[in-house]
Chain A
Amino acid sequence: MKRMKSLFYLSVVPSFLMMVFFGTVHGGSVTMQREAGLQTSQKSAVTKGDAVTDKASAPLTFSPLRLKNKIDSGGESADSRTVKRERYKPYQQGEGESKTR
């Protein structure tokens, strides 16, 4: 019985501690919220078979890399938001004070 108890504590206690500390960092905590299935279509989704088919090459695909600094023309964000959203200022090599990890 004692062995059963110690086995229980050996398995449950470390996993509990892992759950508690997961996502915590010194001076705060970190969480991630992933978008998924934001909205469903009001109409049935169009299948690729319905599209014009005389295309020669594979489609070009968008990427998250911002390579140019084109200006937004306004009207991009909803004013009713409680939290103002700002664009990340991209890092330029060597900019700012030196970092030591």
Chain B
Amino acid sequence: MAMAIVLLSSCGGVDDSPGTIELNNNSVATIDGFYLAPVDQISWGPNILDSPLFPGEYTVIVDIVPGFYDAKIRATGIYSDYFGYLYDIPIYKGEYLTLSVRNSSFTGSLEIRNSSLGANIIGVYVVPANAPTWGPNQASSVIRPSGVLHLTDFDPGLYDVKVVWNVGPDNEYYDIRIDSLTLTTINAD
């Protein structure tokens, strides 16, 4: 069993009898990041895992100041990175709280590959399938031939994707499935 200790003092609890979190990895992924931050903190703070949490293992985080916390996990897979979230976790004084991670706890990822011979991708739009508009451009720079845009942190579901080229018509892909712990790749040409 891996053991991690965290001291979070920014929650402002009056009674500082600490709480404990047990993080159970019931997924097939290896969790290599666990972030625990008070709800009113704007950043996730440091990774508090000493070592990776393999499938079937658990770790215990002790000495947590009572208060409300947000938590994030990260798994680095073969194909991509995946994340899971849990918000507004109440930690009461002296409490022992169990948090569970399943396969369905994780986000999915999407990769757009420029498989054309000479055209550049200048825009990539990805929105839930039922969305009425195309949302923001996901590409922060031009994707050249053989280039890749790798996007993480998707809530699993069906998405519509539009690829905008510097020459020629746009490509639109409808009902592209993104699953937990899965990398979906579109080879656009």
On A, residues with C-beta under 8 Å from B are 25-42, 45-46, 48, 50-52, 54-55, 59-68, 70-73, 75-78, 83-89, 91-99, 101
Contact indicator per residue, chain B 45-84, by CB within 8 Å of chain A (1) or not (0): 1110000101111101000000000111111111111111
**Contact: B58 with A88, CB < 8 Å?**
no
Interchain CA distance A42-B173 in the complex, whole Å: 42
A46-B1, A96-B135 known; A66+B150 contact, CB < 8 A:
no
Which positions 17-68 of chain B face chain A at CB distance < 8 Å? 22, 24, 28-30, 33, 35, 37, 41-47, 52, 54-58, 60
B16 at the binding interface (Cβ < 8 Å): no
What is the size category of the interface that chain B forms with chain A?
35 or more
Interchain CA distance A55-B19 in the complex, whole Å: 12
Minimum Cβ distance to chain A for residue B10 (Å): 14
Interchain CA distance A15-B101 in the complex, whole Å: 39
Which positions 129-159 of chain B face chain A at CB distance < 8 Å? 131-136, 138, 140, 148-156
B122 at the binding interface (Cβ < 8 Å): no
Minimum Cβ distance to chain B for residue A44 (Å): 9
If A32-B185, A46-B1 are given as contacts, then 15 extra A-B residue pairs at C-beta distance below 8 Å, sorted by A number, are A30-B186, A31-B185, A33-B183, A35-B29, A46-B57, A51-B24, A63-B105, A64-B156, A70-B72, A71-B42, A72-B43, A76-B33, A83-B150, A85-B109, A99-B162
Minimum Cβ distance to chain B for residue A98 (Å): 5
Minimum Cβ distance to chain A for residue B25 (Å): 9
B166 at the binding interface (Cβ < 8 Å): no
Could you name 17 residue pairs across A and B whose Cβ atoms are closer than 8 Å? A30-B173, A31-B187, A34-B179, A38-B28, A39-B52, A41-B56, A51-B22, A59-B98, A62-B84, A62-B85, A62-B102, A64-B107, A83-B111, A86-B151, A89-B135, A96-B133, A101-B174
Contacts of B153 in A (CB 8 A): 66, 87-88
Most buried by A among B97, B101, B133: B133
**Contact: A73 with B45, CB < 8 Å?**
yes
**Contact: B44 with A70, CB < 8 Å?**
yes
A61-B101, A64-B106, A71-B42 known; A28+B174 contact, CB < 8 A:
no
Minimum Cβ distance to chain A for residue B33 (Å): 7
Interchain CA distance A86-B133 in the complex, whole Å: 22
Minimum Cβ distance to chain B for residue A7 (Å): 35
**Contact: A66 with B171, CB < 8 Å?**
no
Interchain CA distance A92-B131 in the complex, whole Å: 9
Contacts of B47 in A (CB 8 A): 75
**Contact: B83 with A64, CB < 8 Å?**
yes
**Contact: B151 with A32, CB < 8 Å?**
no
